[in-house]
Amino acid sequence: MLGRAFRRWRVRAATARPPAVGATAAGASGMTMASIVFVNRAGRVSGAEVVLLRLIQAARERGDQVRVISPVGVLADRLPEDVAHVEIDELDLGGASGVARVLALGTLARRWIRAAAVIRRNVDAHDVVIVNSLLALPAARFARLRQGVSWLVHDTIDEAKQRAMVKIGRPAIRRAVAVSPPTAAPVQQLGLDVSVSPLGVDIPGVFAQRQARPQPVIGIMGVITPWKGHQVLLQALTHVPEVRCEVAGSAFHADADYLAELQRFSDAELDGRVRFLGHVDPVATVLNWDILVNASTSPEAGPIVALEAMSVGVPVIATDHGGSSWLLRDGAGVLVPVGDAEALGAAITRVLENPSGVAEMVERAYERVCAVHDARRAFPAMLDALLPDSRRELTR
């Protein structure tokens, strides 16, 4: 709490400075620093927020000044002490449907207007503004910033409501950077120029040791919500009786009933073979798995947990769409049709029964991570892609 209050005090002081100071301050080395403002729609931490925290780290390491505009929550609590935080409302629909969804849309529109006012008050004319969320784009547009914003594209856009968000925010977008080619393509179809800057992960330097055991462990990791496909995996495991399953991650409040449904199904149909782990250390947990499954029923831009598994030699089975198709291309993993529990079960069996083929697959996956997704290079490069050309020259 004291840390959050200190950051709020810092931002009040920061907004009183002359506009040009943030744009022209120089570090001890004489390198001109950028002043970067990140805008995020949520206060919780999921994949997009993990990326945001890594970009903040990259910016601070090269001397940039950083502020974050987001709702309060875990994200704000994880910010470094020298990163100022400015509070806005949550910018989402809260899982509403039907009439409640219509009412939620009205609430969201009012929140966009309020968030736009906060952005306008806390952004100087020379600040670089990076929007980290699709649902924050309308607020950025309504803020009417002369310099516009950079948009980091985390969503593989395949729904009308997502396209509507892009169309609302489009007048404010000066640069769009997608984390994978499948995520860039739908944005390009909407008429925006998009570059691609792949995600990165730390490469821990340890490799999973595959060993035969009576009950191999199949794992799935991430927020527990319907589109992540947990139900598909559990149904698949009814066809693979000789394995255990670990479900890592937790559910947001709106998905508590879904989590309870998964637990009931596991008890009734899978004979106690499923453990729900809650929050875990990702790499340490994945190292204990024989297979990581990503069963998402909606396309993901670039599932970080798949990259983490690839970085330690754990085979990945994923649904054949979005960023998963790109990450696992050319035999770096196994791809299965979306929502097909029978095909997923068959893929699990094939991987478990073919150790020599798996060895070749995980080696190819590891080489790809090292070549393309090493966090030491990936996040500085992504930050650079989000900056205007003039700032890239200044911050190199």
DSSP string, 210-249: ----SS-EEEEES---GGG-HHHHHHHHTT-TT-EEEEEB
pLDDT of residue 25: 46
- pLDDT band, residue 212 (cuts 50/70/90): confident
Task: Name the percent of the chain lying above pLDDT 70.
Answer: 87
Residues 156 and 226 occupy one common structural domain? no
Q: Which of 201-210, 327-336, 387-396 has the lowest mean pLDDT?
A: 387-396
pLDDT of residue 111: 97
Residues 191 and 231 occupy one common structural domain? no
Q: Which of 163-167, 227-231, 389-393 has the lowest mean pLDDT?
A: 389-393
Residues 163 and 297 occupy one common structural domain? no
Residues 360 and 230 occupy one common structural domain? yes
Residues 292 and 157 occupy one common structural domain? no
pLDDT of residue 21: 36
| pLDDT tens figures, 3-43 | 544 444 444 434 433 333 344 444 444 445 679 999 999 99
Mean pLDDT over each residue of the chain, to the nearest integer: 89
Residues 110 and 177 occupy one common structural domain? yes
Q: Is residue 210 part of a domain?
A: no
Please say whether the beta carbons of 180 and 196 come within 8 A. Answer: yes
Q: Which structure tokens are listed for 345?
A: 């079960």
Q: Is it the case that residue 393 has pLDDT exceeding 90?
A: no
Q: Is residue 206 part of a domain?
A: no
Residues 43 and 119 occupy one common structural domain? yes
CATH number of 356's domain = 3.40.50.2000
CB atoms within 10 A of CB 363: 13
Q: Is residue 211 part of a domain?
A: no
- 196 vs 2, more confident: 196
* Structural domains counted in the chain: 2
Q: Is residue 208 part of a domain?
A: no
Residues 261 and 133 occupy one common structural domain? no
pLDDT of residue 97: 53
Please say whether the beta carbons of 374 and 356 come within 8 A. Answer: no
Q: Is residue 207 part of a domain?
A: no
Stretch 213-231: mean pLDDT, rounded? Answer: 95
Model pTM greater than 0.75? yes
Stretch 264-286: mean pLDDT, rounded? Answer: 95
Residues 309 and 323 occupy one common structural domain? yes
Query: Sign of dihedral through CA atoms 282, 285, 289, 295?
Result: negative
Q: Is residue 294 part of a domain?
A: yes
Q: Is residue 205 part of a domain?
A: no
Residues 335 and 300 occupy one common structural domain? yes
Q: Is residue 212 part of a domain?
A: no
Residue numbers of the domain that contains 294: 217-372
| Alpha-carbon separation of residue 64 from 1, 53, 136, 140, 355 (angstroms) | 25, 14, 23, 21, 47
Residues 361 and 380 occupy one common structural domain? no
pLDDT of residue 100: 62
- 98 vs 365, more confident: 365
Residues 195 and 237 occupy one common structural domain? no
How far apart, in whole angstroms, are the C-alpha atoms of residue 172 and residue 149?
Answer: 6
Q: Which of 25-29, 106-110, 226-230 has the lowest mean pLDDT?
A: 25-29
- pLDDT band, residue 101 (cuts 50/70/90): low
| Alpha-carbon separation of residue 259 from 195, 254, 304, 308, 345 (angstroms) | 37, 10, 22, 24, 21
